[in-house]
Every structure is written in structure tokens, then in C-alpha cells.
Amino acid sequence: ILSLRDAARVVALRSQAIGRVLAGKGGMVSVALPVAEVRERIAAWGEERISVAAVNGPSSVVVSGEPGALDELVAACEADGVRARRVPVDYASHSAQVELLRAELLELLAPVEPKVAEVPFLSTVTGTWVEGPELDAEYWFTNLRRTVELEGAVRRLLDEGFGVFIES
């Protein structure tokens, strides 16, 4: 869908923006609970402070947000006997903090020219099959901002008869 040049542009420029704007302001924590229970646990902090970053499996969720709020969450989980571990990053992908990058990323990624997909591609952002042209700058911002719904995508693929998966 993307040329090597465009794919490199997305990866490099998003990484640079994260490092310049978000580094040191956030973090991520892996929590071994179903997403509904994680959402209940983090509700007290509000979406602006902690949000669900990725749903990787039935009891594998990553949250992201402010370091202090994440420390409080980890302590509360440990007190309840719930496994919660820091992910070794100092930024909060897939959280409200990413909004700080919106205008910059839309401008930097505007030259990206997606093509029609040659290989089927199920988006963990939208949960739908991607044709290709919709993977523009807005998509790649949204991909960094929204929750990664890997579990839902894998379930859909299983339901549609697939048995081998590649996540990239």
C-alpha cells in the first residue's frame, strides 16, 4: 500500500515527533486483565490521564498516560494481586497526549501516497479491510492516537476462516 519511501516517512517522522514532543511526559503499563475490567480500573483517572492503548488478547491490555497516574494504577493493581508491569517507554502512544502531534503529523505525512492494496490488510485501527487509498496522513495519525484493537482483528480473521497471521 505504501512505497518504501512513504513507509519510511511514516515511521521516521512519527518517531521523531514522539521523541521531540511526547518523550518524558508519559508511559505505558501492561495489565493482565480483560479490557472491561481495565476500563473500570482506570475510569477514576479519566481518559485525559490514562486510557486503553492496546487490547492484545482476552487478558492482555496496555494502558498509556501520565506517569504519576500510571504509578498509582500499578500500585493499586499490585495491592489487588493483579499483574501490572511498566512497558519500557517514556511516552504515551494511543492516548490523549498524541493530540499534541495532530497538526504536525498531518502536515509531515501529507505527501504520503497510498496505493491500492495487493495483499489483504485488516486494520487494527478501524477493524475493517483496507482498500489502500485510505491510508493517508489522517489514518497514520489516527493509528498512533486510537486504541490498537489487535484482539478484535484476530477474532475477525478467525471468524472469516484465517489461521495464519502476520502483524506488522
- The residue among 123, 129, 168 whose CA lies nearest residue 149 is 123
* Any domain includes 165: no
From residue 132, alpha-carbon distances to 71, 123, 138, 150, 167 in Å are 40, 11, 13, 19, 17
Q: Could you tell me where the DSSP H helices lie in 50-136?
A: 67-79, 102-108
- Write out pLDDT tens, residues 40-99: 999 999 999 999 999 999 999 999 999 999 999 999 999 999 999 999 999 999 999 999
Q: What is the CATH number of the domain that holds 28?
A: 3.40.366.10
Please give the single-letter amino acid code of residue 153: A
- Write out pLDDT tens, residues 104-143: 999 999 999 999 999 889 999 999 999 999 999 999 999 9
Grid cell of 79 as nine digits: 495491592
- DSSP, collapsed to helix, strand or coil, labels residue 7 as helix
- pLDDT at residue 156 greater than cutoff 90: yes
* Any domain includes 20: yes
Bridge pairing between strands 50-57 and 27-31: unpaired
Grid cell of 49 as nine digits: 490521564
pTM score = 0.92
* Any domain includes 166: no
Q: Which strands make up the sheet holding 60-65, listed edge to edge?
A: 50-57, 60-65, 27-31, 84-87
Host domain of residue 108: 4-159
Looking at the structure of the chain, the number of domains it has is 1
* Any domain includes 27: yes
CA angle 115–120–124, rounded 5-degree value: 95
* Any domain includes 113: yes
